[in-house]
Amino acid sequence: MPVTTTFRIGGDLEVRRLGFGAMRLPTEPGEARAASLAVARRAVELGITLIDTAHLYGWGANEELLAEALHPYPEDLLITTKIGFAQTTEGEGWRHAGRPDDIRHGVDQALRRLRLDRIELLQLHRIDPETPLAEQLGTLSELRSEGKVGRIGLSEVTVAELDEARSIVDIVSVQNRYNLLDREHEPVLKACEAADIAFLPWRPVAPGAADANAEMNAVASELDATPTQVALAWLLAHSPVILPIPGTASPAHLEENVAAADLRLTPDQLFRLDGLFSSEAAAPR
C-alpha cells in the first residue's frame, strides 16, 4: 500500500505529513539564536508545511523565535502551538492552566507572540485535572467561534479522555508520545485512525535507541539510510494519520529527517520493524 505524503487536518487543512518540531531550537541571543533562525527557515525551504511549538518551550520564546524567522508566513505553512501551562515561582516552576481565563490569556498571548490573527490548530498541552474538561474545551470552542482559533487538538490523552473530549467539541489532532520502540499509546493511535484524527507523535525517535537497535541498524544498512530515517519512515508507513514532528537544531540532521519522507520500506522490513517494541516509560516532557 503506497505511503501518502499529505494529510488534511480536520478534513480541510492540508499539510505534508513529515513536519518539524521546534522545541529543540535554542532561543538565547547570539550565535545559537542565529543558527536557530536559519534552521527554521531551512525547514520551510525543504518543503516542511507543519511546524510544532508551544508556550511551554521557553515560556513563549520558541514562538517568538519562529515569528522572527518566518513571519510573514508562507500561505501553506501551519504553525501549531499548545497552551495549558503557566509559569510560577513555586514548586516545579509551573502549574496547569486550564481555567477559562487561563485559556483565553494563553491564546491571546500566543497570537501576539506568533504575530497571528488566528491559530489554525491550537492544542491543549495537557488537560488540567483541577478544571472540568467541559470548561476547558468549552472555552476553546468559544474562541473558535470568535475566530481566534481554527481547530482544536489535545496532547497526552487516553482513549477515554479523547472520547469525552469529542463529545464536547470537534477534536482534529492528538499529540502523544510514540515511536517505533515505544508504542504505549497504540490504542489512542487506533482511535485517531478510526476517526481520521491527526496523530502527532512527540519523541518520534527514541533517544539513543535507534543507533543501539540491531534490527533498525540492519534495515538502515539495507536501504543505505540512517536508523533515524528508518524510524521516521516506519511511522509514516505505520498509519496514514501519523504526522511525525522530529526536532533538531542541526541543519544536517534536518536534511536527514526530511529525506526520510522519501524512504520506502519493503513488506519484509516493515514486518521486522513491527516486531520491535519497548514498553519502558519515557521521561516526562
Enumerate the β-bridge partners of residue 198. 173
CA distances from 141 to 11, 112, 150, 162, 235 (A): 18, 20, 9, 16, 31
Q: Which of 7, 57, 178, 199 is catalytic?
A: 57
- Told to judge if 57 belongs to the known catalytic residues of this protein, a careful annotator would answer yes
Closest of 34, 29, 232, 16 to residue 42, by C-alpha: 34
Rounded Cα distance, 51 and 80, in Å:
6
Helices (H) and strands (E) in the chain, counts: 11, 11
Rounded Cα distance, 121 and 279, in Å:
30
Q: What angle do CA 47, 34, 31 make, to 5 degrees?
A: 145
Rounded Cα distance, 221 and 224, in Å:
5
Q: List the catalytic residues.
A: 57
